[in-house]
Amino acid sequence: MGIWEILLIALIVLVVAGPERLPVIMRNVGGWVGRGRAALRGLQSELEREGEELRRNVEKPLGEGSEGEEQGRD
């Protein structure tokens, strides 16, 4: 979202809600944004952990298979 879209939304909120309620609304929106970012960070770290575990599970059998082939050749 660009700066002009944000300014347009802020102007609409100001007109609809009025200047008295604007600080409360902005505080609520800020809280939602903070919780959303925290949720995304948690999701990202969970996906990274799962990806790392998947990578270890894939590399482990590949390493075992190559050792077995070398032993069979000797």
| Amino acid, single-letter form, for residue 21 | R
Is 46 a domain residue?
Answer: yes
| 0.75 exceeded by pTM | no
Could you identify the residue written with the tokens 């809280």? 31
Residue 52 backbone phi and psi in degrees, to 5: -65, -40
In a domain, 24, yes or no: no
Query: Does residue 29 belong to any structural domain of this protein?
Result: no
Q: Is residue 55 a part of any domain in this protein?
A: yes
Q: What is the CA radius of gyration of the chain?
A: 26
pLDDT by position in tens, the chain (length 74): 788 998 898 889 889 988 899 889 889 989 999 999 999 999 999 999 999 999 988 887 766 655 555 555 54
The parent domain of residue 63 ranges over: 34-74
Residue 44 inside a domain? The answer is yes
Give the whole-angstrom CA distance, residue 37 versus residue 43: 10
Q: Check residue 67 and give its pLDDT.
A: 54
Question: Into how many domains does the chain fold?
Answer: 1
Q: Is residue 72, in this structure, part of any structural domain at all?
A: yes
